[in-house]
Amino acid sequence: MEFFTRTLLLCLALALASAHPVLHDHHAVDGALPERCIGIEFDAITPDEKGNTFFFKGEHLWKGFHGPAQLSNESFTELDDLHHIGHVDAAFRMHDEENKDDHDHIYFFLDDKVFSYYNHSLEDGYPKDLVEDFPGVPDHLDAAVECPKGECMTNSVLFFKGHDVHVYDIATKTVKTKSWPHLPVCTSAFRWLEHYYCFHGHNFTRFHPVTGEVSDGYPKDARNYFMKCKDFGHGGDGEIPQCSEVKLDAITTDDSGKTYSFNGSMYIRLDTHRDGLHSFPIRRTWPEVNNGVDGAFSYGDKLYLIKDDQVYIYKSGAHYTLIEGYPKSLKEELGIEGHVDAAFVCPNVHTVHVIQGNRMRDVDLTATPRAVGSDVPLPLSDIDAGMCGDDGVKVFKGSQFYRYESVMILAMGKLAPEAQPITSAMMSCQD
């Protein structure tokens, strides 16, 4: 009877183990690291003060849009050593330029505690109780994201818990709570390139930070946009090119300070180092322009894109809008015919300098009709792109550029200055 009872108990134990298998941590399976391209739901997402973006899941994080996972405490030691939780509930990078002591610090939330880091070092006095630093904000958060003044009414932080959004005013330390039941429950949130994203499952949804309104076409798969995964999106499995391989078609800075470089069918915003450089299809922002651009320049509150013998003019703003009646021909718009290699306008000047072959032709943008005013030879040919700023004129040729102190020196110079290589600090490339 005793043997029968022990046998029965053993069978029951085996049956229960089969029905409810033990969940092992990452160390139990040959030290395998999690793979985000299989479709992971992130616990938190935040950039650091240098623009590196961290994606957190359990005890692990990913740095940037590609690369393998690593243990979180290798980058932020005290998250595990002091609190022994092994995960992050929410995180954000503080935007408070009026308070330099907190600006650009990363805040992590774990249960009812908050950690403040700068340069990957834990600030003195942390961790603290969440209520001490952010009174009125609930603990055990789902997500958090910063919202600078201009995008929100004041410098704020949006804290998510369920369908409730707690809007924390950084200056007054007051909280207003909203309910956004139409938005999925966010397990992480991310402000990127002045847009706001709620991550849920392996998807994300873009929303307005004040109203919570969801943009059309969402949700979308994060693997198509926020990481490089084989067979997913325009990121695909391509590698970041070597700087020696970079070739520009055009480059320009608009009046709001946004700098765009164009290459083939893609563009990159170069003023977003703090959010990480990433390429997008040109048609994503300028849907009427297909198959790349030949030249680009900004004048007033408008962006001009040149392709073949057509000129597209877009009204700048939160979103670029094609002006009615465009595109128009180069001849009609600028009084120029033939292929354009590069075009640029210097700050506070009303002349566009158009490079065609080894010649630079100037057009007064205030004139009606517009026509070529001067036509001078250049010491260079085969120029790909050009731009003008406070540091002079840069003309790009292959993976190199030439800097001139002024347009006059470019126009009157007989010899080209020494070529300088494009670097990773300038473009999305590897030195």
Angle formed at CA 175 by CA 174 and CA 176, multiple of 5 degrees = 130
What are 56's strand-pairing partners? 44, 61
- Same-domain pairing of 215 and 272: no
- Same-domain pairing of 94 and 131: yes
Question: Is residue 15 a part of any domain in this protein?
Answer: no
- Same-domain pairing of 209 and 305: no
- Same-domain pairing of 212 and 278: no
- Same-domain pairing of 272 and 342: yes
Residue 232, pLDDT above cutoff 90: no
- Same-domain pairing of 96 and 195: yes
Question: Is residue 30 a part of any domain in this protein?
Answer: no
Which domain, by its residues, includes 250? 243-421
List strands edge to edge, sheet with 220-221: 188-192, 195-200, 203-207, 220-221
The token pair at 93 is: 């990078």
- Same-domain pairing of 251 and 212: no
- Same-domain pairing of 219 and 250: no
Question: Is residue 380 a part of any domain in this protein?
Answer: yes
Residue 350, pLDDT above cutoff 90: yes
Question: Is residue 329 a part of any domain in this protein?
Answer: yes
372, 363 in Cβ contact below 8 A?
Answer: yes
Q: Is the dihedral of CA 403, 406, 409, 410 positive or negative?
A: positive
The structural domain count of the chain equals: 2
- For residue 396, what are the contacts with CB-CB under 8 A and spacing of at least 6? 248, 251, 342, 383, 384, 385, 386, 422
CATH of the domain at 414: 2.110.10.10
Question: Is residue 17 a part of any domain in this protein?
Answer: no
Q: For 173-204, write each residue's pLDDT tens digit.
A: 999 999 999 999 999 999 988 889 999 999 99
- Same-domain pairing of 216 and 264: no
Question: Is residue 237 a part of any domain in this protein?
Answer: no
- Same-domain pairing of 216 and 249: no
Q: What percent of the chain has pLDDT over 90?
A: 60
Question: Is residue 27 a part of any domain in this protein?
Answer: no
pLDDT for 209: 96
Angle formed at CA 80 by CA 65 and CA 191, multiple of 5 degrees = 35
242 falls in which pLDDT band (50, 70, 90)?
A: confident
Among candidate residues 224, 251, 275, the one where a domain is terminated:
224
60, 69 in Cβ contact below 8 A?
Answer: yes
Listing DSSP states for 83-141 in one string gives T-----SEEEE---TT-TTTTT-EEEEETTEEEEEETTEEPTT-SEEHHHHSTT--SS-
- Same-domain pairing of 202 and 310: no
